[in-house]
Amino acid sequence: MKVRGKPYRTIWPAADGWAVEIIDQTRLPFEFATLRLETLADAADAIKTMRVRGAPLIGATAAYGMALAMHADPSDGNLSAAAKALKVTRPTAVNLRWAVDDVTAHLKGLSPNARAGTAYERAGEICDDDVAICSAIGDHGLKLIEAAWQKKKKRGRVNVLTHCNAGWLATVDWGTALAPVYKAFDAGIPVHVWVDETRPRNQGAALTAWELIEHGVLCITGTDRTTASGDVANKIGTYLKALAARDNKVPFYVALPGPSIDWSLTDGRDIPIEERGAEEVTRMTGRTRAGEVVAVEVTPEGAAARNPGFDVTPARLISGLITERGVCKASKAGLAKLFPEKT
Ligand code: MRU
């Protein structure tokens, strides 16, 4: 996708061929800045501090983290230490474990001096695959938006509600939930996106959902981990959107790449939910009129806060899953039909 007219991915190999560059998402929207990752610790820190975030991009960064580790020390000991260090950075997005295990499997049988080259190659493939997968999700999701456009007799616009960020910044390119929106935009369909905030008060669910039925909205979100039976972990607040959508008869879709499916789980309650620092809730960051970016306290001194990053939406509330292989029911049978080799 483009930033100021220039095409970008969210992660790419640096010109020197061994370091890795990312867009530092903690500086957005106030500043567009890129950051160079040179070590395993840099990659792990970028994931943990959410300089990169979004399940597919977390996986891609972890794959490059393995390559940076092998560049420094390709021994057996460092291979397992690197995998361990990356896996504990964030617990919910299953793409992290998937990417680390994938790269490890490619490296295990190799002699140490062949490992770094193969790790970079595999990380590059994981990135390219993610772009192709998200583009395919976009093509399948586009059909839903086209159908909504036909239903409106091509009048007005198609409204899409999404939650959190499942756009290109959450992936290597295109996004999951937003890929169909970008494709629809490119196809000349007028699309309007309701962009939910994800703060604890959830005005999006309470107020925006009330408006949805007036506008014929479609909900599309992303996911950090989906079980084999179609339960979906995504940014906290997603469950409320799904309940509101059901009550207002608004279709609720989840867009996901294959690596976001955890085939070992069949019950969403077994998905580990990340607990982040309380200060993310008790403080807000913004830009003053003088242009300074500052954090301010929004709770009384000493107030305690819990900050779970995700919640789980049960499959029964989901109208369909948009994958790179097509759209299916959020159920064991639906997913098994599209991914027969996994069952
Ligand atoms: O905590 P984040 O910002 O990593 O959470 C991101 C989300 O919840 C996204 O909706 C999800 O990862 C899907 S991204 C394609």
Q: Whose CA is nearest to atom 15 of ligand 1?
A: 166
The partner residues of 262 in beta bridges, in order of sequence, read 227
Give dist(CA 79, CA 32) in Å, integer: 33
| Rounded distance from Cα 91 to ligand 1 centre (Å) | 12
Smallest CA-to-CA distance from 167 within 221, 113, 234, 94 is with 221
Q: Return left, alpha or beta for 153; rule: phi > 0 is left, psi -120 to 50 is alpha, else beta.
A: left
CB-CB contact of 244 with 270 (8 Å): no
Beta carbon of 259 within 6 Å of any ligand 1 atom: no
Predicted local distance difference test score (pLDDT) of residue 161: 85
Predicted local distance difference test score (pLDDT) of residue 83: 98
Predicted local distance difference test score (pLDDT) of residue 200: 37
Pocket test for ligand 1, best of 224, 261, 313 (most atoms within 8 A of CB): 224
Smallest CA-to-CA distance from 232 within 170, 168, 322 is with 322
Confirm whether 130 is a catalytic residue: no
**DSSP run (H or E) holding 60:** helix 55-72
Q: Which atom of ligand 1 is nearest to the CA of 171?
A: 15
Beta carbon of 53 within 6 Å of any ligand 1 atom: yes
| Rounded distance from Cα 86 to ligand 1 centre (Å) | 17
Rg (alpha carbons) of the chain, rounded to whole number: 20
Give dist(CA 169, CA 152) in Å, integer: 30
Give dist(CA 40, CA 62) in Å, integer: 9
How many CB atoms are closer than 10 A to CB 281?
17
User: How far, CA to CA in Å, does 32 sit from each of 84, 289, 303?
Assistant: 31, 19, 33
Predicted local distance difference test score (pLDDT) of residue 217: 56
| Rounded distance from Cα 224 to ligand 1 centre (Å) | 6
Pocket test for ligand 1, best of 53, 137, 240, 311 (most atoms within 8 A of CB): 53
| Rounded distance from Cα 338 to ligand 1 centre (Å) | 23
Task: Choose, from 224, 231, 262, 311, the residue flagged as catalytic.
Answer: 224
What are the pLDDT tens digits along the chain (343 aa)? 777 788 899 999 999 999 999 999 888 877 889 999 999 999 999 999 999 999 999 999 999 999 999 999 999 999 999 999 999 999 999 999 999 999 999 999 999 999 999 999 999 999 999 999 999 999 999 999 999 999 988 888 999 988 888 888 899 999 999 899 889 988 999 988 877 766 533 333 322 332 233 334 577 899 999 999 999 999 998 999 999 999 988 899 999 999 999 999 999 999 999 999 999 889 888 889 999 999 999 888 888 899 999 999 999 999 999 999 999 999 999 999 999 999 8
Beta carbon of 164 within 6 Å of any ligand 1 atom: yes
Judging by beta carbons within 10 Å of its beta carbon (0-12, 13-18, 19+), is residue 122 exposed, middle or buried? buried
Query: pTM, whole model, 2 decimals?
Result: 0.86
Beta carbon of 309 within 6 Å of any ligand 1 atom: yes
| Rounded distance from Cα 55 to ligand 1 centre (Å) | 6
Beta carbon of 178 within 6 Å of any ligand 1 atom: no
Predicted local distance difference test score (pLDDT) of residue 219: 77
**Two tokens, residue 202:** 């959830």
Q: Return the beta strands (E) in the chain as ranges.
A: 2-3, 6-7, 11-13, 20-23, 34-37, 158-162, 191-195, 218-221, 225-227, 232-235, 252-255, 261-262, 283-287, 293-297, 310-313, 320-323, 326-328
DSSP 8-state assignment for residue 12? E
| Rounded distance from Cα 275 to ligand 1 centre (Å) | 14
Give dist(CA 296, CA 282) in Å, integer: 8
Beta carbon of 176 within 6 Å of any ligand 1 atom: yes
Q: Which atom of ligand 1 is nearest to the CA of 256?
A: 15
